[in-house]
Amino acid sequence: MKPTKAIVIIGAGNLAVQLATAFLNTKQVTVHVYNRRATHALRALRQQGAFTCTTIDVLPTEAMACFICVSDSAIASMAKQISQHIQHGIMCHCSGTTPLSVLKNPSLPYGVLYPLQTFSKNRNLNWKTIPVLLEGNTKATQQGLKGIAGLLSNELHTANSEKRLQFHLAAVLVNNFVNALYLGASGVLSKKEFALLKPLAFETIYKAFETGPEAAQTGPAKRGDLLTLKRHQQVLAKNKPLLKVYKELSSYISKHFSNATAI
Q: Is the pTM of this model over 0.85?
A: yes
Length of the chain: 263
What's the first-to-final CA gap in the chain, in angstroms?
67
Superfamily of domain 164-256: ProC-like, C-terminal domain (1.10.1040.20)
- 240-256 helix and 178-188 helix, angle to the nearest 10 degrees: 130
Q: Can you give the C-alpha Rg of the chain in angstroms?
A: 22
Amino acid identity for residue 143 in this structure: Q
216: pLDDT strictly greater than 90: yes
Give the integer Cα–Cα distance in Å for 255 and 236.
22
- Read off the DSSP letter of residue 56: G
The domain ranges of the chain are 6-159, 164-256
- pLDDT tens, residue by residue, 5-27: 999 999 999 999 999 999 999 99
| pLDDT recorded at residue 4 | 59
Q: List strands edge to edge, sheet with 30-34.
A: 51-53, 30-34, 6-10, 62-68, 88-93, 110-115, 132-136, 156-158
Query: What pLDDT, on a 0 to 100 scale, did the predictor assign at position 30?
Result: 96
Distance in angstroms (rounded) separating the CA atoms of residues 15 and 92: 14
Domain spanning 6-159: which CATH class is it, in words?
Answer: alpha beta
Convert the pLDDT of each residue in 32-65 to its tens digit.
999 999 999 999 999 999 999 999 999 999 999 9
- State how beta strands 88-93 and 110-115 pair: parallel
Residue 98's closest CA among 79, 121, 119, 81?
A: 79
- Of the candidates 130, 131, 134, the one whose C-alpha atom is nearest the C-alpha of residue 159 is 134
